[in-house]
Amino acid sequence: MYRTDPADGSRTIAGVLLFLLPVQFMTVLMAGAAMASGYSIYTNAISDLGVIAATAWLFNASLFVAGLLNIAGGYFLYRSYGKGWILPVFVIAGIGAIGAAVFTLDIPGIHGLFALAAFLFFNLEAIAGSTLVQGPLKAIAIIAGTLGLIFLAAHAASDFGVLDLYGPIGHGGSERMIVYPALFWLAAFGGYLMAPATSSRSP
């Protein structure tokens, strides 16, 4: 039997927003890597696309929109589920993305702080989001967020010269392993939220 309470509408809107976030951003990442002459996924950081003339406007706009979508998605998710942790985690992650778009890599100190907030809290979203789903998606959420956090720690250790943990995927590949698991999770979670919700499936 399908739920008919008003929270269903908020759940669906959250699903649409959180699905669109990774779809539009990953599309821009792929397009940007193709457009930027000499850009290397192995060597270059994701945010290099924000300071290369051919891709700066596209990348920064997409990252800014990703932050807005995350905040709005978190708001509607909170309206649907009512759990207090939802809004702060989604807002901080969204502000991190917006800040990294506004303060680009040529302002490294400020950009780095916003990027760190985004890296950390988008992965925490995935782990915390496991409490909102059931079945295999719960395990996928935990694995995705944990994997992103492991690579965040390894990437930070490599950046600060403590250890060289980039390995065969390089600086750019390591950074993508922080970002991609959480984005894949958001796409799956968005699809889950858009599906008709039944009272038996509701966590």
pLDDT (tens digit, 9 = 90+) per residue, 3-48? 446 668 999 999 999 999 999 999 999 999 999 999 999 999 999 9
What six digits make up the tokens of 76? 């509607």
Q: What is the pLDDT of residue 159?
A: 84
Surface-to-core class of residue 79, CB atoms within 10 Å of its CB (0-12 exposed, 13-18 middle, 19+ buried): middle
Task: Identify the pLDDT of residue 74.
Answer: 98
Can you say how many angstroms the Cα of residue 117 is from the centroid of all Cα atoms in its chain? 11
Mean pLDDT in the chain? 93
Residue 199 has pLDDT above 60, yes or no: no
Structure tokens at 10: 């908020």
Query: What is the pTM for the complete model shown?
Result: 0.91
